[in-house]
Amino acid sequence: MCRMSNIKNLSLFGNKLEGQIPKYIWKCPHLETLSLSYNNFSGSIPFEIGNMSMLKELYLGMNAIQGGIPAEIGKLSRLEKLDIANASLTGNIPSSIFNISSLTHVNLGYNNLFGTLPSKLGISLPNLERLYLGENRLEGPIPSSINNVSKLIVLDLGDNSFIGSIPDFGNLKHLQSIYLHQNHLNAEKSRTHELTFLPSLTKCRNLKYLALADNSLNGILPASIGNFSSSLQTMWLHNSHIMGAIPSEIGNLSSLLLLNLRENQLRGHIC
């Protein structure tokens, strides 16, 4: 394999390979797809990965890779899919990754990544459709610039340590799934203590899954919740310090299959 300098696609997915990823792989200048997921590879990702200028798809998930994500990945200007989920990664997510305008899919979930997300996260990602960062140790606020990622379909930031207000997602017209559960998020409220970010989600006409459970929302569900898309199937809002009555308008959600409001501070009658 050492002499296959012209190889474009290399897939060793789903084997029992172990040890460090061979160094010669990072020297294949024409490689466009590298799939090494679901093996027992260890070691670290070398900075030489930045030299693979033709790379479009990189899959390294479900391994035991040590260390962090090298900033040199940001040099891969043609990269479309980056998946290093569940690979024992540590450290910060290099801000350079969020400058790769060709990205459509980023999955760094189920690692031990920490630190904050860059405030300009959404400025240079015009093609991003799926962002999975759940099950890490990320903290700080969710950047409001994420509302600029107009093609986003899935946003998973669940099970981290994010703080601050939930931003406006109203510009994300293609959004189907939002996972913000198990963080330390709160929400801006009106004078009547209604949760003001929820009306912005009514603009997301393709929304199917909404997970906000285990946060500190400390507000009242607005009547506008009944204006959510008819596509909405699941709402996880349990243990989120929601107060007041359940608005009768919630009955307008004709496609709703699961509504979880347990362990809140709701009162009144169920109509």
pLDDT at position 3, please? 61
- What are the structural domain ranges in the chain? 9-266
CATH number of 9-266: 3.80.10.10
173 and 205 in contact (C-beta within 8 Å)?
Answer: yes
Task: Please state the pTM of the whole predicted model.
Answer: 0.95
Question: Of 178, 176, 167, 171, nearest to 208 (Cα)?
Answer: 176
Helices (H) and strands (E) in the chain, counts: 1, 20
Residue 77 C-beta-side C-alpha neighbours within 13 Å: 1
Question: Of 221, 141, 131, 110, nearest to 176 (Cα)?
Answer: 131
Mean pLDDT by 10 residues, the chain (271 residues): 75 94 88 96 93 96 94 96 97 96 98 96 95 98 95 98 94 96 93 91 94 96 91 96 94 94 91 61
Burial of 131 (0-12, 13-18, 19+ CB in 10 A): buried
pLDDT at position 18, please? 94
Q: Which residue has the tokens 């608005």?
A: 247
DSSP state of 167: P
DSSP state of 197: H
82 and 104 in contact (C-beta within 8 Å)?
Answer: no
Q: Which residues on neighbouring strands pair with residue 243, listed in sequence order?
A: 220, 265
- Counting every residue, how long is the chain? 271
pLDDT at position 24, please? 86
pLDDT at position 78, please? 97
